[in-house]
Structure 1
């Protein structure tokens, strides 16, 4: 029992702490990065290609998020498995522990398909804009690209907020499971 209890507590800390941290990590892109690039596009007369290229570099840093979400989900799934009805540890979480940890695990993992189906198409289009040839001496790219990129950044920011809230909801469920 002590080994499983220690493993459970480690998984609980990693799952809850990881979901909360990753939620903030993801939200910061919607709070700071996307709006700053959109302002550069509108106010600073930076070309759409240059802004898209900066965004492309930002996306590179975000590639660590899906594996982190999978690891967080696995830790929370382990917590759910550890407190299922058939095991002695369920006395610690007699009512809602299994269900709440399961919900937390599902919510943490759900950002992966959410990203694939809603955010990746936007990322692909921004990368296409980033890969356009640009001659700084010739001036900015077309106004259409500028309007499109601004719209893509706004839509990305909104969808990214949703993704962040999925993780935050998962961390709240994990916290509730630990307190019930």
Structure 2
């Protein structure tokens, strides 16, 4: 195998770093933000209406920020898969199965989008509805808000594993 062209090295860096970054970004909400909000509810009697509005703000920020990074990572991995596919000029630079690993990396990273739309949608919608309600009614239903936020935390944590696995698949493509 000869040296990998700089354009492919750059794509490797973009794909792996952006997949790792998006995984960490998503995971931070489940590992840090939501537990902090729930702790404030428990220990400082933070109102459920405030918790759900904070959740909405974090959710909207993530919804605006994350898809372009997911797309960038997946595009880099798909470019790599195409560039090193069997029979291409780039195939001589990489192990035989690299294109398959890059396809897996792209699919796993892109998997955050259907996971959000299919698996998390009902919970996201329920929390978004709570955020629109008046404070008094939300605070009366605080146990339901807490349950929904805990469920969201778990689902979001699972979702964060998809780009992490994409990052790992990208690394395997390089080292296999």
TM-score by length of 1: 0.89
Within 5 Å, give how 1:60-75 maps onto structure 2: 60-63=60-63, 64-75=65-76
Partner residue, 1:166? 162
Asked if the contact 2:84–2:90 (Cα under 8 Å) also holds between the matched residues in 1, the reply is yes
Flag structure 1 segments of 5+ consecutive residues without an equivalent: none
User: Counterpart of 1:118?
Assistant: 119
Question: Matched residues in 2 for 1:134 and 1:166: separation?
Answer: 35
Q: Is structure 2 residue 85 aligned with structure 1 residue 84?
A: yes
**Deviations 1:4-61 (CA, angstroms, capped at 9, x unpaired):** 9222221111000100111111111011111111122222212211111111111121
List structure 1 runs of 4+ shifted beyond 4 angstroms.
Answer: none
- Root mean square deviation, CA, Å: 1.7
Q: Alignment partner for residue 141 of structure 1, among 135, 139, 142?
A: 139
Which residue of structure 1 lines up, in the alignment, with residue 38 of structure 2? 38
- Give the direction of change, closer, same or farther, for the CA distance of 1:9–1:47 in structure 2 (3 Å limit): same
Task: Quote the residue 1:151 is aligned against.
Answer: 147
Give the whole-Å Cα distance in 2 for the aligned partners of 1:98 and 1:104: 10
TM-score (norm 2): 0.91
Number of positions where the alignment pairs a residue of Structure 1 with one of Structure 2: 172
